[in-house]
Structure 1
Amino acid sequence: MDFYLKDEGVRTSFEFGQLNIASDENHGFRPFQLMVASIAGCSLSVYRKILDKQRIKYEDIKLTAEVTRNSDESNRIEKVKLHYVVKGYRLNHDKLAKNLEVARKNCSMVQSVKDSIEIEESIDCMELS
C-alpha cells in the first residue's frame, strides 16, 4: 500500500478506488471512522459467512457501532459497542448469539485490537410476519 501526502490529508488508491483520509470530514474519512468501519465491517462479514454456511435464513442484518473515545488520551478509541439486529422469520436468538461469539473469534480486526480496544457485542432479532 502506498500513501501520498496532500494539502488536506492523505490519499491512497486500491483496486476499488481512491481513499482520502483527513482530520476534517470535508476532505476525507477521519482515521477513527476507518478504524471503526474496519472492525464493524469485518465482524459483520464474518458473521454473515457463518450464518450462510449454516444455512440460517435471514432477510437483513443491521449493525450499529457506538464509539467511546478518551479526550484525555489523544481521543483514542477505548470501546466499540456493536449492536446487531437480525431480521427474518422463525429466528433462534440463542443460536444467533452463539454464532456471534464464533464470528468474534474469527474476525481479524476484532482480534487485532482486542487488547487495546474493548469490543462489546449485542444482538436482537426482529421477527417478520
Structure 2
Amino acid sequence: MDFLLKENGMRINFEFGELDISGNEDYGFRPFQLMVASIVGCSGSVFRKILEKQRTEIEDMKITAEVERNPEEANRIERISLKYTIKGYHLDPDKLYKNLEVARRNCSMIRSVEDSIKIEETIERIELSM
C-alpha cells in the first residue's frame, strides 16, 4: 500500500476508490474512525456469515459503536462498546451470543487489538413475527 502525503493528511487509492485520511474531518476520515470502522466491519461481516451458516433468519443487523478515548494518552482508544441490534425470526439469545463469540475469535481486526483495546459486545434482539 502506498500512502501519499497531501496538504491536510494522507491519501491512498484502492481498487474500490480513493481514501483521504486526516486528523481534521473537513479533509478526510479521522484515523480513529477508520480503526473503529475496521473493527465493526470485520466483526459484523464474520458474524453475519456465521449466522447464515447456522441458518438463523435475520432481516436486518445494525451495529452501534461507542468509543472511549483517553485524552491524557494521545487520545488513545481504550474501549469500544459494540451493540448488535438484530431483527429476525426465532432468535435464540444463547445461540446468538455463542455465534458472536465464534465471530470474535475469527475477526482479524479484533484479534489484532484485543490486548490493547477493550472490546465489549451486547446484542439486542427484535423478534419479527411471520
- Answering whether residue 99 of structure 2 is matched by residue 99 of structure 1, we say yes
Deviation at 1:124, TM superposition (A): 1.2
| Correspondences of 1:75-114 after superposition (within 5 Å) | 75-114=75-114
Return the alpha-carbon distance in structure 2 between the equivalents of residues 83 and 101 of structure 1. Answer: 14
Return the alpha-carbon distance in structure 1 between the equivalents of residues 18 and 118 of structure 2. Answer: 30
Return the alpha-carbon distance in structure 1 between the equivalents of residues 88 and 104 of structure 2. Answer: 22
After superposing on structure 2, the runs of 4+ consecutive aligned residues of structure 1 that deviate more than 2 Å are none
| Correspondences of 1:15-26 after superposition (within 5 Å) | 15-26=15-26
Q: Deviations over 1:56-92 (max 9, x none)?
A: 1110001000000000000000000011011012211
Structure 1's unaligned 5+ residue stretches are none
Give the AA of the match of 2:7.
D
Q: Deviations over 1:21-54 (max 9, x none)?
A: 0011110000000000000110000000100111
Give the AA of the match of 1:57.
E
Structure 2's unaligned 5+ residue stretches are none
Question: Percentage identity across aligned positions?
Answer: 65
Question: How many corresponding residue pairs?
Answer: 129
TM-score (ref. length: structure 1): 0.98
1:27 match: 27
| Correspondences of 1:1-129 after superposition (within 5 Å) | 1-129=1-129
Give the AA of the match of 2:24.
D
Q: Deviations over 1:88-123 (max 9, x none)?
A: 122111111110000000000000000000000011
TM-score (ref. length: structure 2): 0.97
